[in-house]
Structure 1
Amino acid sequence: MSESTIRVAVVTGGSRGIGRAVVERLAREGYAVVVGYAGRKDAAEEVAGAVLAAGGRAISVQADVADEDQIIELFERAEREFGGVDVVVHAAGKLALSPVAELDLAEFDALHRTNVRGTFVVAKQALRRLRAGGALITFSTSVVGLALPGYGAYAASKGAVEALTRILANELRGRDITTNTVAPGPTATDLFLDGKDEQTIDRMAKQAPLERLGAPEDIAETIAFLASPAGHWVNGQVLRVNGGIV
C-alpha cells in the first residue's frame, strides 16, 4: 500500500484496556496507528512495538487530551509520519466513583477535564483534519442509562459526550465523515476492575443476558466496524455495546 492510500488512525488512551485492543484491531486491518498515551510510556511503546513486530506501522505519542497544544502536536505527528488522518478513536478517559454528597470537587474537576474538555479538544482537531471517508469515534458508558449509585460524576461527564455526538455529525455535514459514540457496559479492563471485589464483579457480569463481562476485544470489533466503509452509514449515534444490559 502506498503512502497516499494508507489509512491512518489516531487512538487516544491507546496504551491499555479498550484503547490497546482498538490499536491492535485496527493495525490488523492495515491502518497505520498513532498510539496516544498520557503517562504510561512503557505500555504505549510495548503496544506500538507489537504492531511493528507483526509487520504493521505504529508510533506512540505522549499527549494530555485536555491540553490543546499537545493534541495539536499529536495530530501533526500523525500527518508528518503517515500523511494524514482517517480515523480518530478517542478512548482516553478517567473514572471516579463517589456518592454525590461525598464527592471531592477536585476529583470532579479532574474527571471532567479529561472526559469532557478532552473530548472537545480531540474532536476539535479531528473535525479540522479528518480526510473524506473518515470517522470520529468517542466513548461514553452504559452507566448513563443504568443510573448506578456512585457513578454520578462519571455518568454526567459521559452524558456530555453523548449530547455532543449528533451536533458533531451535523457540523460535519457534506464532508463524508461520520461520528459516533460507543457506550460499553462492564468490560474487563484495569479501569473497571480496580477496587471491586469478586462478588461485585460477578454480580455485574450477570447483568447482561450473555452473563459475562465484555472483553476489550468486543468493543474493538465495534470500533473497527464503525471505522470501516461497511459502517459508514451509521452516523450521529450512541451505540450501547454491553451484551444486552438495559
Structure 2
Amino acid sequence: MTDTTTRVAIVTGGSGGIGRAAAERLATDGFAVVVHYNGNKERAEETVRAITEAGGRAVTAGGDIADETAATELFDTAAREFGGVDVLVHTAGIMPLSPLATLDLDVFDRIQRVNVRGTFVVGKLAAQRLRPGGAIINFSTSITRLQPPAYGAYAASKAAVEAITLILARELRGKDITVNTVAPGPTATPLFLEGKSQELIDQIAGNNPFQRLGEPGDIAEAVAFLAGPARWVNGQTLFVNGGAA
C-alpha cells in the first residue's frame, strides 16, 4: 500500500516509553508510522496493533540505528510501505549511569555509538530522503542543564545531539525541512524508573512546579507540535520538563 499524499513518520525506539507515545500520537494526527525497534519486536508489534486497532496505519522495522545499512532499510521500509517519509522522530538511545572515575570506557563507547553515531546516521539519511515540508525531531535530555552526578557520559552524548541538530538545520537551507531537539525532563518510562527507589523517584518528581514526573504523553504533545504546525521553529532545543530546569 502506497499513498504519496499521506504524511509518513519514522519513530526510532517506538517499541515503548516516549517512542510508543509519539508513534500513537502521530497516528491520531493521520500519519502512517514506521515503528522502529532494536531487540524487542514484540513490544513494537504491540505499538503497531494499538495504532491499527484505532484505525491508523503502521508497520514495524528493526535494526541497529547506528549501522548505516540497517538504518537505510528503515527508510526503505517507509518508502515501500507508505510511499516516502516526511518526519523522523529519533527517540532511540541508551542511558547507563556511572561516575566518571569508575566508568568502563567500553560502556562510554557504547553510549556514544548509540546516542551520537545513531543520531548522525539517521539524520544523514533523513537529510537525503525527507520530502519538503518535513521535520527531523531528535531527542536530548534536560540532564544537559541539570547536570547531576553519574550522568557524565550520557549528558555528553546528548549535548552532541543538540549541536548536531542546529548544524543540520542550517545545512538544510532551502529544503523546507525543520530540525529540532526535544529535551524531556524526568519521565515515567522504564528507562528512567529502572534501578531507582521509590524515595528517589518521589524526590525527583518534587523538583518541578507540578510535583510529578512527566508522562510519555506529555512529551508526545511536543513531538506532534514539531511534526505539524511548528514550521517557524527550527534548530532549537525544546525543554519539556514541567519547569524543572
Q: Tell me the SS of whatever aligns to 1:196.
A: coil
1:75 aligns with 2:100: no
Q: Which residue of 1 aligns with 2:244?
A: 245
Q: Which residue of 1 aligns with 2:39?
A: 39
Could you report, residue by residue, the CA deviation over 1:32-83 in whole angstroms, capped at 9, with x for unpaired residues? 0000000001000111111111111100000111110000011001001100
Could you report, residue by residue, the CA deviation over 1:92-113 in whole angstroms, capped at 9, with x for unpaired residues? 0000110000101111111111
Q: Tell me the SS of whatever aligns to 1:51.
A: helix
Q: Which residue of 2 aligns with 1:16?
A: 16
Matches within 5 A, 1:40-55: 40-55=40-55
Could you report, residue by residue, the CA deviation over 1:8-31 in whole angstroms, capped at 9, with x for unpaired residues? 000000000000000000000110
Matches within 5 A, 1:87-126: 87-126=87-126
1:202 aligns with 2:205: no
Q: Which residue of 2 aligns with 1:85?
A: 85
Offset, 1:145: 0.5
Distance 2:244 2:48 in 1: 33
Q: Which residue of 1 aligns with 2:142?
A: 142
Distance 2:3 2:118 in 1: 30
Could you report, residue by residue, the CA deviation over 1:123-153 in whole angstroms, capped at 9, with x for unpaired residues? 0100000000000000000000111000000
Offset, 1:245: 1.2
Distance 2:13 2:220 in 1: 13
Q: Tell me the SS of whatever aligns to 2:180.
A: strand
Q: Percent identity?
A: 62
Q: Which residue of 2 aligns with 1:157?
A: 157
Q: Which residue of 2 aligns with 1:132?
A: 132
TM-score (normalised: structure 2): 0.98
Q: Which residue of 2 aligns with 1:187?
A: 187
Return 5+ residue gaps in structure 1 as ranges: none
Distance 2:67 2:142 in 1: 27
Q: Tell me the SS of whatever aligns to 1:165.
A: helix
The number of residue pairs the alignment matches comes to 244
Structure 1 stretches of 4+ with a deviation exceeding 2 A read none
Offset, 1:184: 0.3
Q: Tell me the SS of whatever aligns to 2:234.
A: coil
TM-score (normalised: structure 1): 0.98
Q: Which residue of 1 aligns with 2:233?
A: 234
The root-mean-square deviation of aligned C-alpha atoms, in Å, is 0.8
Distance 2:4 2:66 in 1: 30
Offset, 1:3: 1.4
1:175 aligns with 2:161: no
